Structure 1
Amino acid sequence: MRTVLITGPGGSGRTTVAAATALRAAREGARTLLLTCDGALPSGLLPDGVPGLAVRPSDPDGGFRDALGALQERAGSALDLLGARPLERDELTPLPGARELGLLRDLRAAALSGAHDVLVADLPAAPEALALLALPGVLRRYLRRLLPPERQAARALRPLLGRLAGVPVPADWLYASAARRDGELAEMEALLGRASVRLTAEPGPTAADGVRTALLGLALHGHRPEVLLATRVVPDSSPDTWLAVLAAQQAKVLHEWAAALPVHAVPHLGRDPRGADDLAALGVPGVDADPGAEVPAGIERPVEDRTAEDGTLVWRIPLPGAVREELDLVRRGDELLLTVGRFRHALALPPALRRCAVTGAALREGALAVRFVPDPSVWPRASRER
């Protein structure tokens, strides 16, 4: 199944582009699901009964209530012993992050169903969508730090250790639950890694910062947008002076964006698109539903071996649009904690660099080059002798 994730700055026409993308895929013969994050589609945007097209609003609030209800039922005996009063379903309000996790669960469920060839997801606006894309990896990292999988090997010793130490030891069900959640998060992470990301933005001075921020956040988490769909592009041949000036402004912005990634212009129809004909007139790119089709490559972070020249290894981390003053990095164990403006991400070091010490970093031409020097105490002897 091909998955297309559509996001962009607020008000950039994400939902309209998602609907047009799903409609085109269905008309080209693919069994298509359009998953919307903000409830039902605007009235009249898509006609009812399009062959091969299903539209499903995501229900993260309901998923949160179901998950918390199941947890209460699982821990019912413990709650009874504590004299706790269970929460009723109708009094539950989602916690921060529950909406993103619920949408990810809906994406996973759609992928596992096998009922569709193409899944088009109308994600939230870029800042929230970036948090959603990072969520599976972040939660897996927390789970593995709090309940390391390797400790499950000592499950037979846990009762004995508990008696000897006189302290409670995590029960088997806790480790089993953590392993199950880790598996689900791994599936979500893999699904997002195989997905195509399409950005939407209306070309103009105010959109430049939003696109730069979106590209930077996506790159930090390993995603390279397939295309930027520039929405509401006016014709450049209008005799109207005001439209001519606007067209010139848009053309300047489009030229700047095209230097960073592929750009596809989506025309302004002179009205809000409604119905199949209007959506088709937008001319959005199609989706190759062939299971063997090449998936857009993600961000590569190559390690350059310069030990023969100056004794260093250089890890290049693409960060398009990053500003030196907003950068901060800290080495912690086998991770590099990288902060770029409003974004913070823990990058796992490649195996070779785990045996090295960080000696410096520099930001040049949209990439962060982090220099490492091998640690003689742990670096392979053969490599040292060469």
Structure 2
Amino acid sequence: MEGPMEHRLCGKCTLDWGLHNYKMRDIFTWRLLKTIAMGQVLSLLICGTAVSCQYLADEKVETPMLQSFLNYTLLLLVYTTFLGTRRGDKNLFHVLRSNWWKYLVMGLADVEANYTVVKAYQFTTLTSIQLLDCFVIPVLMLLSWFLLKTRYRPVHFVAVLVCLLGVGAMVGADILAGRDQGSTEDVLLGDGLVLLSAALYAVSNVCQEHTVKTLSTVEFLGMMGLFGTVISGIQLAALETGAVAAVTWNLHIVLLFGLYALCMFALYSFMPVVVKLTSATAVNLSLLTADLFSLFCGLFLFHYTFSALYIVSFVIIIVGFVMFNVVPTYSALTEGGSDREFQGCPTDQGPHTDQGPPGGSTHQLLPPDTPDHGIAVAVL
């Protein structure tokens, strides 16, 4: 009797595993499609900020710190206020007492990253900025490896190279179309500012991933709003008082500032949700298409010259992004750190015991929901 009973048990487990495997593949496919779509929404929001900045530049308005200040102020009004209404150890004042210096570093890195990349346009060319800005990805992967204990597989490095190849195609199209605008006043200084900006963005993104995956999305956004407003406000008063006073204010310019602030607010609100679903590295890979969306808008709004290489570049970047997300990475931030999603037979005996679905670590297929997970999306 013992043999047939074991046979029936393992047969049932085999059937259960087949159904489980089918469901997990369906879930994974839906998650992948959702990740691609959400990543492109982020790129479209960045495109909105780029278009508004271009129109402001045409109006001779150069106030990058004021624009950042408006975004951080919106985050302050929404998320920091929400933190202030919390009770217990998740309250704003308790968070400040325990981790204020960490959020100060995060806010400082984010504010200065935004400022230095805009400042770089005064000294170097668009081509240099597009190429060197990709430096954020290897720095982010390195920081994630040491600080978040993220472990990558060979396919992830190949995927990054594919995405960078897509960026190269985009830059080549820009050069052929004569869009290598910018300044050559001090190229080395400008390139150095871009690299510094990329490193600061990597620091900010690592802090973001750690916070949203171990604490909460609202805590990250609330602290970013608080410290970002203070830091950018001080820098605004110190560096841009004259530039703000020189602006000829009218309804058109006010609407452009409003469009920029709303796009940035939506970007900052939505990005932690995508980071929680995937990783900061994956999100930055998806953002490589933002320049392409800006170029496509420029074809209609600013009469840019079209090149088929733009389409090729978009396809290559999406292919690389899909490659990166098809095989999930391992991270110490996830629960348990185990690669085994399904253990096979309850007794874990015999040849029917399976090591889990193909594709390695699956711990990120269904990230745990938290009460804060939907708040950022609800604001949108």
TM-score after normalising by structure 2: 0.24
Higher percent of residues as strand? 1
TM-score (norm 1): 0.24
Which protein has the larger Cα radius of gyration, Structure 1 or Structure 2? 1
Richer in helix (by share): 2
Higher relative contact order (CA 8 A, sep 6+): 2
